[in-house]
Chains A and B, each alone.
Chain A
Amino acid sequence: MIDPFPFNWFQIVKLFWMDGYGPYVWTAWGVAGAGLAIVLAHVLIDSERTRRDLDRIRRELAPNGQPEPPPKGN
């Protein structure tokens, strides 16, 4: 017969509860994770938007609609 509770749930809860310090630890790590995620999203979205703007403006200003290739690395 298959055991419907293969894990010792008490051990898992204990691992996350951390003798009462769990809520503090998880909140602190959550704050740090959220902070890093915000910075990451901000720089990546801003970077992509600016790159598209630059491409669009280069296309608009090119005499035949074909912009000259951007410098390498850009």
Chain B
Amino acid sequence: MTYITTTQDTLFYTLPFLIPVVGGILILMLDLFAQSDRKHYLGYLATIIQVIALTTLLYTLFQGEDLTLFDGLIELTGTTLIPAAMVLLSGIFTTLTSINYLERHKIHIGEFYTLLLISITGLLLAITAAHLFLLFIAFEIFSFGCYILVGFLRGSPLRAEVVVKYFLPGALFSLFFLFSIALIYGQSGSLYFASVTTMTPHRLLFPISFILFLFPMLFKIAIIPLHQWVPDIYQGAPANVVMLISTGIKIAIFTVLLRLLPPMIEHFKNPRFWIDILLILGLITMILGTLLALVQQNLKRLMGYSTMIHSGLIIMGISAYLVSPDQALKTALFTYFFIYLLMNSGIFAIISILEHNHQGTDLKDLAGLHQFSPFLYGIFILLLVAMVGLPPTGGFIAKLFLFKGIYLTGISSIGVMTAIGLTIISSIIYLRPILHMHQQPTEETTAPKLLGGDYLVLTVISVGIILTGIIPGPLLSLINHFTGQ
């Protein structure tokens, strides 16, 4: 671990965080003076800003050195930089698809991109933080951005419901998080992640602080019993904001859990008990997500429950990682994050193209998609096949390695078998949209308008999914190389 002390170096290595913030403020200023029919240029500017930030981040990653900034507040290692790059990628997908979405909904508000960029910065900080209070601040930054973004559809009847259902529990669980930090500080005397490892836990206070810490995290990734917001927010929020909520935020929280749970769980006298609780929560989330997704009539609600299945599986992977911190399992988890990011972003990109004022996202609205838009139809089918986890797509590779990793740790063979069984059942969920696509449309439907950004995102995602499915070696060895200790 190299400590960065000089101002120039600190500035250089903080560029991935600085560029989105400064870019966001720049967009805020440009928005004031831009004509309302030229607001889409701000979207392209936001994309360029994120691409530059991603480039500087990848430069730091490929230097292959573990860095510490600001006296240990921020850690730039492979384990933090790889999910940070994924979050930026998620941000780029979200920005590119929102240009078309905002144009179609006549929302000429440049602040959308500012909020998006600032949320992305919060996510990057949350991933790379090595200090509990910085983690809390970052958590608040991206949460605030998203509270506003989910209610961006003006005049939508679902808007108030969405904002309240996301904001109130989110704010409450932020308080839980803060209280948990206070309790941990009482036991360790410091807020650095390193002191969580070395502290002497209190018999009663430590379990309380652990449970309180889990609440906000499990809320954001929608693990039972904190999943009730999922279908309503997924249905009511703009589809590309949901894209960010379901990919970027989840990847960030999973990374935080991967970094903080192993040192925390060691302090328990009986760690296996707590790991089993996490495992069972993950399993129940998978079961309930599968069962509820089977009966949904709205594509966005269906995808909401589908992301719960993925979250449950990843939580199972994380609890297996807590039993035996195995490098192969860690690689499998990060590979799963990446491929999940591609699949989910792709599906929500398509939904955002089809959606108009909350219309067009019911399953029956998909009827005749192969006639009026063969491009969307082909990519949609590819993505759904990847979601099921069939070869030759990346979905198969992700599931294969994760199941193998979980099984080899020997955490619970019954749990793994149940999860595999649920994956087979979940193929019905993803086949239902395909079934609806082939029905005759009841009314005349027009082809949705696609902009360059949408074509770019969908092409990149489908190429990525096929490539990771056919030649997964480079991706796996890259992640394995950088996340290794």
**Genuine A/B complex:** no
Interface residues of B (CB under 8 A from A): none
Interface residues of A (CB under 8 A from B): none
